[in-house]
Structure 1
């Protein structure tokens, strides 16, 4: 096997490990829902190199909170539960009621709009502080528009700056 082939094999996600992560996470989230007496179904998936667990058919926004703050906290707790069982750091993504998908669409639109503005004016543009999830979506949208962006600042006030070409 050539060195390039070995790198490709190493770079491929371990599907069995990701499925195990999603099962552990789903069990953990289901336990939290039971404790909180919240009805909801759980979907598990693997997308790229991360496990995704979604709570669907849930009413209300208590599990999301203002600007997704409760969801971020639940995701971190779920990642810790997975880490505790597997011994490896998890990049698991938790979604509740489609919040992240709606947020992804909204931020992709914003990133595309800001990129067009920066192309037009030739001046860099800073955005408000965002979570790592939100910044990644902006970076992807800006890159798709052919521009460069960087994250600056320290958590929790880290933000994206879109640069002209």
Structure 2
């Protein structure tokens, strides 16, 4: 979708996003049943994307040590939504509040990197991260008054914090 010439983004279609969340929840409930894992599913709309969370999970680790299982599960869920709607989904999936905890951790990493760059005056490259993780770091660096950019190719793409 391209932005209109006036630069104003159209309001998100909340009804369509809620439908994405419902499709995703049904898909995930089926997966949890197959895997014999208990968990509750919460759905919400944040900005321009549906957000589905598996909470109170019992009987399995669906995030993985570094979130790699969560990323794969999110991609499968997006594909399930696409199959039913015909539209590409930007759905965000969280499991056991993994992303919430990771967001706090990444904000600290971004802020610390910005402070290091302010002190040294030298650019600082961080470890490779997922698009979700890079976005949070970019936001933290911007909040600290510096700028950053992503470099490299997936899956080894990383953030570089630049001096003012």
Tell me the CA shift for residue 61 of structure 1.
Answer: 5.2
Q: 1:145 to 1:54 in 2, by over 3 A?
A: same
Deviation at 1:60, TM superposition (A): 5.5
- TM-score calculated relative to the size of structure 2: 0.94
Q: What is the CA–CA distance in structure 2 between the aligned matches of 1:60 and 1:29, rounded to whole Å?
A: 15
**In 1, Cα distance between the equivalents of 2:59 and 2:104?**
21
Residue of structure 2 in register with 1:139 after alignment: 138
Aligned length: 160
Asked if 1:153 corresponds to 2:152, the answer is yes
Distance 2:35 2:59 in 1: 13
The equivalences for 1:32-71 within 5 A come to 32-59=31-58, 62-71=61-70
Q: Within 2, Cα distance between the matches of 1:66 and 1:138? A: 20
Q: Distance in 2 between matches of 1:12 and 1:164?
A: 35
Q: Provide the C-alpha distance between the structure 2 equivalents of 1:129 and 1:139, rounded to a whole number of angstroms.
A: 13
Distance across 2 between alignment mates of 1:31 and 1:137: 31
> Normalized per residue, which structure has more helix?
1
RMSD: 1.3
Give structure 1 regions of 4+ aligned residues with deviation exceeding 4 angstroms.
Answer: none
SS at match of 2:61: coil
Question: What is the TM-score of this pair, normalised by structure 1?
Answer: 0.93
Query: For the residues of structure 1 that align with 2:98 and 2:30, how far apart are their CA atoms?
Result: 21
Matched with 1:116 is 115
